[in-house]
Amino acid sequence: MFDLATLQPILNTAIDAVVVMDAEGLVVDWNTRAETIFGWTRDEVLGRRLGDIIVPPSLRDAHHAGLTRFLETGHNVVLGRLLELSAVRRDGSEFPVELSISTSGEAVDPLFLGFIRDISERRETIAKLEASEARFRAMADAAPAPVWMTTAEGGVEFVNEAFAEFAGLDREGLLGDVWIDLIHPDDILNVLSKRLDARAGLQSYSFEARFRRQSGVYKWMLANARPRIDAAGQFLGYLGMAMDLTEIKEAEAHQRLLIHELNHRVKNTLASIQSIARQTLKADETPPHVRERLFDRLLAMSAAHDVLTRENWSGAAVEEVVRQGLRPFVDERDPGRIMVQGPALRVGPSAALALSLAIHELGTNAVKYGALSTSEGKVSIDWTPTGGGRAQLVWREVGGPKVTEPARKGFGARLLDGGLTADLGGRPQLIFAPEGVEARLPLRLEV
């Protein structure tokens, strides 16, 4: 038998509503939390039928029938179980509750102790989560690319329709670690390594790998995954999406083939031009220095083409173009005579070719007449960005013979003064300072 007098202080501090009912269905006790939840005071409900107070009208007949059956047969379907039911407040509004009932165990005049918890907020939260999940699944299924979601342990717990269609499996067949079997054997270690590194720091990660389609054909995919973190900061798993890169990869391979073919044809053309020049500008008819200059300039263009070829003709690093153009003029015994420095900047193909020719002309002039024609002379080349997608390269010579401006401009000066303007993105300046030649070359940077 429940000792209600002893239980009263405990009941009134309970976080759940606690209701005591006798065998006739009358309220025997009603704690403070029950007053808050249902809106009835203890004095108002004592001695009244519980079913008429908190049980919704649609469930009252079942409530009375269940009580009668238990008293007559001892059979019950609710005692000792945790149930979710509907209850009713004083204002008539229904709300969900969690209910558990125990009995005093007396054969005659038993008492029933009910613990009732208002789960309205829980239901609302669950409903919001379900609605949010439904929206996510709808959006994921609308995506034309594979989308997946993993658990914190790493197994896949959701894939969208595009993923299932791509793999040729139903969704259930892709859960867990099945996705690993879809990756090309040569790519698995790289993918798992990136995944482990990202998981250690709860970071996003991406990778390129070949995935097997239902036809057995592998497709290049770019996958990106972001960690899912709940409000408490708990890691829930990863959300990922993949994009088909196959056509891009094929286009890149085709582009490389075309570039190599283009370079081969350009090199052959330059070789042909050089051969024609040798036959046309015969040694007994043409001054040697003219032949040398022409051949050197053709070689400078060839070297610039080599740089662009390595860069797939997408442009070239300024430093590489400069160093390649300076190679014929660098003394391996004293490499410090030519100093090159500047930030990592890139120019487009036409600017790279123009810069290569400019460096060659400046180097040739320095060897013949300028700083590199003496043992003490030095050359410095540096460049800095000037804003707006542009930069300036400065060539300075010191320590050579005293410089005077020539009475007439040679081919190199004319080339620098105007011939390279369009490709470089501005008119170069050639300054004949007494202490050494200085050239300022504008550069249009690669965007």
Q: Comparing C-alpha atoms, which of 205, 203, 204 is closest to residue 191?
A: 205
Tokens of 222: 């770019």
Tokens of 163: 């993923």
* AA identity, residue 371: A
Strand order in the sheet with 147-150: 156-159, 147-150, 235-244, 218-229, 205-212
What is residue 157's three-state secondary structure?
A: strand
Note the pLDDT of residue 267. Answer: 63
User: For residues 15 and 10, what is the distance between their CA atoms, to the nearest angstrom?
Assistant: 10
> Rounded to the nearest 10 degrees, what angle do helices 318-326 and 349-368 cross at?
30
- Condensed to tens digits (0 to 9), the pLDDT of residues 156-193 reads 999 999 998 888 888 888 899 888 888 999 999 999 99
Note the pLDDT of residue 130. Answer: 83
- Condensed to tens digits (0 to 9), the pLDDT of residues 388-434 reads 999 999 999 999 999 888 877 666 667 666 667 888 888 888 899 99
Note the pLDDT of residue 331. Answer: 75
Task: Please state, as a whole number, how many other Cβ atoms lie within 10 Å of the Cβ of residue 101.
Answer: 18
- Domain covering 299-444: architecture: 2-Layer Sandwich (3.30)
- Domain covering 138-244: architecture: 2-Layer Sandwich (3.30)
Tokens of 162: 């595009």
User: For residues 55 and 78, what is the distance between their CA atoms, to the nearest angstrom?
Assistant: 15
Helix, strand, coil tally for the chain in percent (to 5)? 45, 25, 30
Q: Comparing C-alpha atoms, which of 242, 239, 231 is closest to residue 152?
A: 239
Note the pLDDT of residue 359. Answer: 87
Contacts of 219 (CB under 8 A, 6+ apart): 166, 210, 211, 213, 244, 245, 246
Note the pLDDT of residue 27. Answer: 92
Note the pLDDT of residue 9. Answer: 67
User: For residues 372 and 297, what is the distance between their CA atoms, to the nearest angstrom?
Assistant: 19
Topology match between the domains 138-244 and 299-444: no
Q: Comparing C-alpha atoms, which of 214, 181, 180, 185 is closest to residue 195?
A: 180
How many residues does the structure list for the chain? Answer: 447
Per-position b or e across 129-154, b if 16+ CB within 10 A of its CB: eeeeeeeeeeebeeeebbbbbbeeee
User: For residues 127 and 361, what is the distance between their CA atoms, to the nearest angstrom?
Assistant: 76
361: part of which helix (H) or strand (E)? Answer: helix 349-368
User: For residues 259 and 349, what is the distance between their CA atoms, to the nearest angstrom?
Assistant: 13
Note the pLDDT of residue 435. Answer: 92
User: For residues 36 and 370, what is the distance between their CA atoms, to the nearest angstrom?
Assistant: 99
Helices (H), 210-287: 246-280
Beta-bridged to residue 18, according to DSSP, are 115
Contacts of 156 (CB under 8 A, 6+ apart): 148, 149, 150, 174, 175, 176, 177, 178, 179
User: For residues 85 and 148, what is the distance between their CA atoms, to the nearest angstrom?
Assistant: 36
Look up tokens 């690993």; give the residue: 180
CATH of domain 4-118: 3.30.450.20
Positions of the chain with pLDDT under 50: none
User: For residues 87 and 156, what is the distance between their CA atoms, to the nearest angstrom?
Assistant: 40
* Domain edges within the chain: 4-118, 138-244, 299-444
Note the pLDDT of residue 384. Answer: 96
Task: Judge whether 406 and 379 are in contact, CB under 8 Å.
Answer: no
User: For residues 177 and 168, what is the distance between their CA atoms, to the nearest angstrom?
Assistant: 16
